[in-house]
Amino acid sequence: MREEIDVFHDLRRRLCSGEFAYGTKLRAEALRKDYDCAASTVRENLLRLSELGLVDFQEQRGFRMPEYAPERQHDITATRIMLESEAACRAMRQGGVEWEAQLSAAHHKLSHIESRMSARGMTEELLRLWSAAELEFHQTLLSACGSPLLMELHLIVYYRYRQVNIEADRALTDLAENIEEHKNILDAALTGDEDLMRRRIYEHFKRHLVLGESAQTTTLVSLAG
């Protein structure tokens, strides 16, 4: 039997990798066979994931993948921009040479995987490797911000963002842009230019602000310089 923590992390990975279509019913009795555990263990973990916004839960309907809604995608994206911009700028003020080296190493790893994706196309193995490396890069970017709460909130929003944008990730729709934008973020971090960092982060995510210009979006543009 797998440890319960493994069930949680693997379910989270599957929920954010496009394995389940939007609105799919998540049946604990069926999922438990994947983990050789009790259905109650799966239900407990699905409930935890629902508290993080990755699963919808209703008493009479049970657990489901969230339905796609452009308003939700836009809101998640805007929130990620705000959190990541603030945390990255704090990290730039407080991080030193060691942080810069760690970020450069994380980018090197991510860039290597993205080059393989560009040459070979997407596979399940590359998706898993890229998902882990992309998270590592963005978490390393923020790691010197000095706020555990900000890091925790960013991680919650990060997984919601991955879940709602997984179709574009799997289709490699934005791969060329992602490669360039990750390099631009690294360069901004190494220059110590906070206005440039806010602009690079905004440029990285703006295509998923699907509702177009709004008061919220205008604010983000002004913050980006």
pLDDT digits (tens, 9 = 90+) for 107-160: 999 999 999 999 999 999 999 999 999 999 999 999 999 999 999 999 999 999
Stretch 61-80: mean pLDDT? 96
| b/e sequence 183-217, b meaning 16+ C-beta within 10 Å | ebbbebbeeebbebbbbbbbbbbeebbeeeeeebb
User: What pLDDT does residue 220 have?
Assistant: 52
Q: Answer yes or no: is pLDDT of 225 > 50.
A: no
CA 182, CA 163: separation in Å to the nearest integer?
Answer: 20
Stated pTM of the model:
0.90
pLDDT of 169 reads 86
Average the pLDDT over 70-74 and give the result: 97
Q: Per residue in 36-52, pLDDT tens?
A: 999 999 999 999 999 99
The topology (CATH level 3) of 4-64 is Arc Repressor Mutant, subunit A (1.10.10)
What is the predicted pLDDT for the residue at 38?
94
**3 state SS of 58:** strand
pLDDT score for 171:
86
**Max Cα–Cα distance, the chain, nearest Å:** 54
Sheet holding 25-26, edge to edge: 25-26, 62-64, 56-58
For position 214, what pLDDT does the model report? 55
Residue 219, pLDDT score: 53
Q: Which CATH code for domain 70-223? A: 1.20.120.530
Report whether pLDDT(60) > 90. no
49-74 burial, b for 16+ CB within 10 Å, e for fewer?
bbeebbbeeeeeeebbbbeeeeebbb
In this structure, the chain runs to a length of 225
pLDDT of residue 25: 97
- Is the model more confident about 11 or about 60? 11
Domain boundaries defined on the chain: 4-64, 70-223
Q: H helices of 16-144, where?
A: 28-35, 39-51, 70-94, 97-120, 124-142
How distant, in Å, are the alpha carbons of 23, 30, 62, 132, 215 from that of 138? 28, 34, 33, 10, 26
> Residue 168's pLDDT is what?
87
Q: Is the pLDDT of residue 195 over 70?
A: yes
Residues 9-40 have pLDDT tens digits of 999 999 999 999 999 999 999 999 999 999 99
